[in-house]
Amino acid sequence: MKNTKKEKLQALYKVFRESDNVLMLINADPDSMASALAVKRLLWRKVSSVTISNINIVARPDNIAMMRLLNIKMVHVNDIILDHYNDHYNRFVILDSQPNHHDSFTKFKYDVVIDHHSDTGYAATYSDIRPEYGATASILTEYLRSARIKPSVKLATGLFHAIKTDTCNFERKAIIEDMQAFQFLFRRANLHLARKIEQSEVRFTNLKYYNKALSEKVMRKGKLFSHIGMVDNPDICVNIADFFMRVESVQWSIVSGLYNETLIIIFRNDGIRKNAGKVSSESFGDIGSAGGHKSAARAEIPVMAFKKAVKPYNAQNILKWIMKKVN
């Protein structure tokens, strides 16, 4: 018999004590940031301190706007000094991800895992993994409601924006619980603030990548491929992949770039009888981390894992190699 929502909340609270210093690890995006804010609110006055730590560099203009407008404070994982981590933090939480999703997550042993991706079987003291849900923010909204916590306007706006983003305005997978959470938050969110986050403009300095992507694009049977070379941040590939999906004839958008000796490949599709996560995993899962949802996925591959297969090693041949692997 499944635990009730109230029982889940009580089980979560049993993990923590008043003296605990909690470190929450996220791969910062709207869903994980909003979920982290929700957990921080749930633990208010129940633990000594809560720190949100991001493993990635936040560069997307909308995510930066979300951080600024909702006052989200984070400490990058590289700034969590090892001695400080050992002496200070004694409880560890991972949200909207699981430990094997990224190498940076493996540095910690987690007491709590809350996620909406497929269960990888990690043994935490408390786990709540619901792959049928469209957003982790929907799960955390249920916890807030079970705790009879009325979310602040900023928290409600963050969770509202997260559900919209991760379900792509309910065009991706979602269930009735996502809709119920959305309706609950709609009445409490600042819609003007949410719209301001969504409509954050592209940085002028990133226009060069759009120019590169347009000039290097290759179209094959509804699939648009583009490799943009070295990037300042992997989120640039995400932005461009989303941009190409707005083109009428594009069924798949596959955009890649190089960042920190890693090849980042972003997959997007129109959601019609397609599975981006499966394509990503089957194409690149044997040499890197790969996976995602039906309409959105990514792969991250160390350069040394494929460099010998690309001869001569240059941008044009990297693109050809990706196209061959995907097809």
Written as tens digits, the pLDDT of the chain (327 aa) is 457 899 999 999 999 999 999 999 999 999 999 999 999 999 999 999 999 999 998 888 889 999 999 999 999 998 886 556 657 899 999 999 999 888 889 889 999 999 999 998 999 999 999 999 999 999 999 999 999 999 999 999 999 999 999 998 887 778 999 999 999 999 999 998 998 898 776 778 889 999 999 999 999 989 999 999 999 888 899 989 999 998 989 999 999 999 999 999 999 998 778 899 999 999 999 999 998 888 899 999 999 999 999 999 999 999 999 999 998
pTM over 0.75: no
Q: How far apart are CA 296 and CA 124, in angstroms?
A: 27
Q: How far apart are CA 231 and CA 239, in angstroms?
A: 12
Is 1.20.1060.10 the CATH classification of the domain at 5-198? no
Do the domains at 5-198 and 209-326 have one common CATH topology?
no
Cα atoms in the Cβ-side hemisphere of radius 13 Å centred on 283: 24
Residue 24: strand pairing partners = 52, 93
| E strand or H helix at 296 | strand 296-302
Q: Which two tokens stand for residue 324?
A: 């061959």
**Angle in degrees, CA 165, 169, 174, rounded to 5:** 90
User: CA 250, 252, 253, 255 torsion: positive or negative?
Assistant: negative
Which class is domain 209-326?
Answer: alpha beta
Identity of the amino acid at 131: P
pLDDT at 95: 98
Residue written as token pair 């297969």: 309
Domain extents in the chain:
5-198, 209-326
* Strand segments (E) across 121-213: 126-129
